[in-house]
Chain A
Amino acid sequence: DAGVIQSPRHEVTEMGQEVTLRCKPISGHDYLFWYRQTMMRGLELLIYFNNNVPIDDSGMPEDRFSAKMPNASFSTLKIQPSEPRDSAVYFCASRTTSNTEAFFGQGTRLTVV
């Protein structure tokens, strides 16, 4: 298995633009997590899905952030409109119900200028 795959690896966008981050979890994993990592705050959970259903989105900072999981093999995190303070590394992770170890993708480094 190729692991959790995220795209793009790097994204630079102008303030006000829409940004879409993509994630393909490991096949067979029924939990998917979106995290944001910054120097100041470390890793923060934004939202997680179980069997494609959003379970807890209390970590989503504002209405500008939205996430979807249309099927078991694909999820998106969208920021519209983007702001400079959204600049961070965004990680997607997946795991199974029986194993608490989350497997992380390589992250998307987002820079909003």
Chain B
Amino acid sequence: KNQVEQSPQSLIILEGKNCTLQCNYTVSPFSNLRWYKQDTGRGPVSLTIMTFSENTKSNGRYTATLDADTKQSSLHITASQLSDSASYICVVMKGGSYIPTFGRGTSLIVHP
């Protein structure tokens, strides 16, 4: 079964600190991996997309990494801000399919 597992399930950090969220997947064949940010009461919004040949991609303070060999991705948030409090969802697209597989997300809370 194609799965996307995320860890930790939830995370609390102080404003200004860095954090790293993990995503492991078994989806095969692999097409691409996206990280979405979902603010409370809103729909998910794409942060980054990574294809098989990409190892690192940044979007401001967000940096995603991908190791296609070990089927692992991470999302690193630098100098966290209160507005980073949200759920972060890892989504993997299977090659040849239009149906993405979603992880359950990591709930991040940034405290002042």
Shortest Cβ distance from B4 into A: residue: A42
Question: When each residue 77-112 of chain B gets 1 if its CB lies under 8 Å from chain A and 0 otherwise, what string results?
Answer: 000000000000100010000111011110000000
Majority-rule SS of A interface residues: strand
| B46 proximal to A (CB < 8 A) | yes
Which of B46, B98, B102, B103 touches A31 (beta carbons < 8 Å)?
B98
Identity of the chain A residue whose Cβ is nearest the Cβ of B103 in the assembled complex: A42
A103 to chain B, nearest CB (A): 8
Q: Determine whether the beta carbon of A48 is less than 8 Å from that of B99.
A: yes
Bound CA span A21–B103, Å: 25
B43 touching A42, Cβ below 8 Å: no
Contact A104 B99 (CB under 8 A): no
Known: A45-B99, A48-B99. A104 touches B104 (CB 8 A): no
Number of A residues contacting the other chain (C-beta, 8 Å)? 20
How near does chain B come to A89, taking the closest CB pair, in angstroms? 9
Q: B102 touching A106 by the CB < 8 A rule?
A: no
A93 to B34, CA, bound (A): 15
Q: Does A34 contact B (CB under 8 A)?
A: no
Would you call A93 and B43 a contact (CB within 8 A)? yes
Could you tell me the distance in whole angstroms from the C-beta of A37 to the nearest C-beta in chain B?
A: 9
Rounded to whole Å, the gap between the CB of B2 and the closest CB of chain A is 12
- Contact: B93 with A100, CB < 8 Å? yes
Q: A25 interface residue, CB < 8 Å from B?
A: no
Whether A4 touches B43, Cβ cut-off 8 Å, given contacts A48-B99, A101-B34, is: yes
- Where the two chains meet, the residues of A that have a C-beta atom closer than 8 Å to any C-beta of B are 4, 31, 41-45, 48, 50, 55-56, 91, 93, 100-102, 104-107
| Residue positions of B touching A, CB distance < 8 A | 31-32, 34, 41-46, 49, 89, 93, 98-100, 102-105
A-B contact list, 12 entries, CB within 8 Å: A42-B102, A42-B104, A42-B105, A43-B89, A45-B99, A45-B102, A48-B99, A91-B44, A100-B32, A100-B100, A101-B46, A102-B100
